[in-house]
Structures are given as structure tokens and as C-alpha cells.
A and B are shown apart, each in its own frame.
Chain A
Amino acid sequence: MILLVVPHAEGKIAKAAYELAAAARNIGRAGPVTALVLGDGVAAVAADAARLADQVLVADLPELAEFDAELWSTAVAQIAQEGGAHTILIAASRDGRAYSPRVAVKLDAPLLEDVLSVQDRNGALVAERLSFLNRVTETIEAQGTVAVVSVKPGAFDAAPPAQEAAEQYDVGLQLPPRRVTITSKEKEDTGRIALSEADVVVAGGRGVGSPEGFTQLIVGLADQLGAAVGATRAVVDAGWRPYSEQVGQTGKTVQPKAYIAVGISGAVQHVSGMGKSGCIVAINKDRDAPIFHVADYGIVGDVQQIVPALIAELRK
């Protein structure tokens, strides 16, 4: 059995769930595919999950209202063991990457982490993943038949939902007490198109000068292009922009058709989050900035003049 843990947020199934379903269909291992939905008030998620698996197991419990790595890993390991799962597929979100290692330890199984591809070769799972700050693709092989796999968001094209809905079953879980208490949450919703979904991303660094400069130049250009807004770590740390917009090693990894980097020097930690973009455009006053080494197009100049000129040109 392939166990697929269904990612969801705010009562809705996540796009990554369909990507996991695609990974399950491509893996070359015997099914059935079992989708596991963990949460509180997840009936709608389970209904959608029923169209991407052969059966759906649902644990709809108040204890699961909030993500917790110990609770999630306990639940997944228990279901995997009861069902004799040979492959456990988990979305490699922050949460997914926080509990999948615990599942691997519980099952005494290898972890194939944040994979771009995964397939059975003669009984063992072989996967590709990035390493060295996304600069190297490594091919790795799981030892043994059971493996925990976390799948990189966006690595697989979403599988289309099936016509027929699979059966749903409620499952009982033996959960440990919660030991990490979340006392408050700051949700960062900017009301814009999400970074991971946008075809075009306009991103700004300290080179835009100020929070006002960021709004005027970066948000202004993004509005003109219908693009998502990205930011460097320095900009987020300075409090100019929310963390949800951060691109790079400690933020989001994006791969839009076009990435427009404004006032960004191009530190390797930032490039690791956007270096796979289709077309990279750099605007920076420093001709020697490393961002120009990874750029398809660029302008060396004052961003305060170049960006308004770009907005004006696009309006024509």
C-alpha cells in the first residue's frame, strides 16, 4: 500500500495533494493508494481526497486542530504499520519536513527528503533531489523496501481528480499528549497572488532603499504585471515585508516563468530559492553584483529611475 498524507489548509485540500497523487501514480509500485486526512473539521478535504486515491482514511479529531510534529508522525506511523504501507508520501512543506523524519525513525525506514522524482527500481526507491544550496542534483537510493518520501512542492504536475469517489473510513488513533503549545499565530495574508502560483515574480532587496520604496517600486511593478511580490531575507528581517514573501534558503523556493530581481545583490542563499526560474531579470546599480551572473536580462542602473521607467513603458 502507498500511503499518501493529504496536505490541507483552512479546510481546503492543497494543490500539493494532487502532486503527491501524481507521484504515487508514477512510482511504479503496486497500490492501492490510501489517502490519510488528519485534522479537525476536514470533511471537505476528505471528499476531495476521495478523488485522488483508492481509499481514504479520515481522522477528524479536535486534538488535530493544530499541526504538531509528534502527533502527526505518530498518526502516520500507526496507519502505515497497520496497513503494511511500503511507501509513505508526504508533501515537503515546512510542516511535512518537520514530521516526516520522525515517521522514518518510527518505522526504522529511510527518508528520501524533498525529492524531485521518485521511482521503484528493482524493489528499491530511487529519487532525485537537490543539494548544496540547490546547486547539485543527487540521485539517491533507499535501502530496504519501506521508505518515507517527502515530495518537493511543484516537482510533479498535479494529477487530475478521478470521476469516481473512493470510499471513506474513519480511523481511530492513539495519540500522545501535545508537548509544544502554540500560544499565538501571526498569519501573513497580503491578499496577493501566492508566490508559488505566480507566473511572474517581482522581488526586491535592500537596494530599493526603504519600505516606501519597496511599495512604490516592487509592489507597483508587480501590480502592473499581475505578479507576485518576493523579498530578500534582509528586507524581511528589517520588517519591511512579511515573512510569507521571503524567497531563498530560509524562505520559499520559487520557479516562475519570469523572476524580476530589483536591488538584489544575489547572495547564494537567495539564488538557491529562485535560480531555477525560467527567465531571470536583474536590475541593480552594481555591475559586479552576483545576480547578473544568473540573469538572462538586466539593467545596470539606479532602481529609483529604472523601475518607474519600466512601469511607464508597460502602461503604454
Chain B
Amino acid sequence: MRIMALLRQVLDAQETVRVADNKVDLDGRKLVMDTMDEYGVEEALRLRENGADAEIVVVAVGPARTHEALRAALAMGADRAIHVETDAALDVIALSSVMAQIARAEQADLILCGGQQADWDSQALGAATAERLAWPQVTWTRALALNGATLTGRHDTDDGVASFTLSLPAVLTTQQGLNDPRYPTLPNIMKAKKKEIRKDTLEAYKVTPKVKLQGVAVQSKERLKRILDGKDAPAAAAQLVQSLRQEARVIQ
């Protein structure tokens, strides 16, 4: 079987956000494989280690630098990568068309992708890709097992956690708590340098953007930052309660 993991390269969560030229400025910033996508790569490796006879292909659409994220996934243990290189900013519905076309060409059986990517805060890529392939989907997976062609697991819903079962092919979205992604070892990093990253151009996929970005603004709220020393707990508590009652007026 073939497992496809979809990746995005995003701003490291610890980096502050800066805006230039009416978009978020990523030049010279620390960029990483999206952590939610990383759980997908790790889960693919674990399914294989638990007995699935699977080739693991990682796929990303993005500018030249995106190959770093793909290389990181190869160093974790993925077999090969496909990089659709473009500077165009695709919305999620347009991107899902590229991903579905690749999944068809690769005859993928299972697609894993992050539940919500940290750049566009979108949860839609997995579901939109599943719809294009006419496959079922499960979002926010927190436990997964594969037995033959049957997937079982648990996932988060609006009001709790549900156990599910479905048959391949399918799309699953991944999140923190599903597994602990491994760190690439030095030998695996060396090995990854020899693995294939196939380059593609976006033109071949004939997609039209459906959403246009008009502009961005950084959200920041100035905070008071009145921080007290708590060595004398009762005194600090009394002062805080007074501030919250009389100044902020947020408690009775």
C-alpha cells in the first residue's frame, strides 16, 4: 500500500509574526514542518512498523525552501518526496485539487495531514482532498490502528471523543497527542540526502485560486503587565483581588 503525508512548511511557533508588503514576512525566519503534519509523518512510520507493508510518500506545495520540510520528513523515515514548486499562494480548496491529483497518480491508499496548519489556521485540507477523491475522512485523530484494509481509532468531536472504524482508502487528519514524533538520527539524516525529492511545477495541475488575500494585520493587544511578587501570598492575593474588582471590574 501507499501512504501519502501532506506537509506544509510554516513559521516556527516561537517566532514572532512580522508583516511586510501586506503579507506575513517569512524572509530569514525560522521555518519548520508544521507540527500537526509531523504527527502524520510519524503515524505513517508507526503504521509501517506495526506491520503495514507501506511505501511512505511526503508531498508539499510551496516555494523552493519547502524542500527543507520534505527533507526533514525523509530524515524521519519517509521513502520519497514530491515537491510542487511555486511561489503562488493557493487557498485550501485550490490546494486540495493538487493533492488529489497527486494521490490519484500515486495510487495512494491512505492520506494523512495535519488537523490545522499553523500558517493559515485552516482545518480544511484533509476534508477537501477527501471530497475530491470521493473518499471518507476522519478529522482530529488521536489514536489509530490498521488491520488489513480496516482503520480503527479514536478522534475528537464537538462534544467529546468517539471511536471509529472505516475502510481504506481514506483521509485522516492528525494532531498533538496522537504520537510523539521521533527526532531524525544522524545516519537517517545522511540517508535522507540520497532520497528522491521529485520536483513538479504547479502549471501541470491547472488550478485556479478561489480566494484572494487582500491584506493582513498583526493582532496585538497591549497588556497592562502588572506583575506582583508573591512571596507574601495573602498580601499579593489581596492586591490582585482589589485590582480585578475595582480597576478591571471583571469579578464581583
Contact = CB atoms under 8 A, between A and B. Distances in A.
A11 to B, nearest CB: 13
B136 A297 contact: no
B131 A134 contact: no
A143 B244 contact: no
Contacts of B240: 281, 297, 299, 310
Nearest 8 pairs of A and B residues by beta carbon: A301-B230, A110-B210, A309-B237, A258-B250, A101-B124, A101-B128, A102-B131, A179-B136
Contacts of A250: 115-116, 140, 156, 175-177
Contacts of A265: none
Contacts of B216: 131, 136-139
Given A105-B132, A297-B248, A111 B230 contact: no
Interface string B206-236: 0011111111111111011111111101101
A292 B214 CA distance: 33
Contact of A313 (B127, B162, B238): B238
Contacts of B234: 309, 312-313
Interface in B142-182: 152, 156-167, 175-177
Contacts of B241: 310, 313-314
A247 B228 CA distance: 25
Interface stretch (A43-51, A56-64, A90-98, A206-214): A90-98
Which of A97, A268, A282 counts the most B-chain CB atoms under 10 A from its CB?
A97
B64 interface: no
Given A136-B217, A137-B217, A301-B233, 9 more contacts: A94-B157, A134-B219, A143-B210, A180-B137, A180-B165, A183-B163, A267-B13, A302-B230, A314-B251
A297 B163 contact: no
B15 to A, nearest CB: 9
Contact of B158 (A94, A182, A183, A283): A94
Nearest to B229: A300
Contacts of A292: 225, 227
Interface residues of A, number: 93
Interface residues of B, number: 81
B11 interface: yes
Contacts, number: 280
12 contacts: A69-B130, A97-B127, A101-B93, A105-B93, A110-B93, A131-B24, A185-B157, A199-B250, A233-B176, A295-B227, A309-B233, A312-B234
Contacts of B122: 113-114
A200 B210 contact: no
B96 interface: yes
Contacts of B32: none
Contact of B123 (A98, A142, A183, A188): A98
Given A136-B17, A138-B213, A310-B241, A179 B236 contact: no
Contact of B13 (A98, A133, A186, A279): A133
A111 B91 contact: yes
B19 interface: yes
A76 to B, nearest CB: 12
A109 B244 CA distance: 47
B118 A9 contact: no
B213 to A, nearest CB: 6
Contacts of B106: none
A9 B225 contact: no
Which of B118, B131, B228 counts the most A-chain CB atoms under 10 A from its CB?
B131
Contacts of B121: 114, 129-134
B92 A131 contact: no
Contacts of A106: 131
A279 B128 contact: no
Contacts of A73: 131
B124 A111 contact: yes
Contacts of B11: 132
A188 to B, nearest CB: 4
Nearest to A67: B157
B119 interface: yes
A306 B234 CA distance: 7
B181 to A, nearest CB: 15
B177 A111 contact: no
Nearest to A269: B13
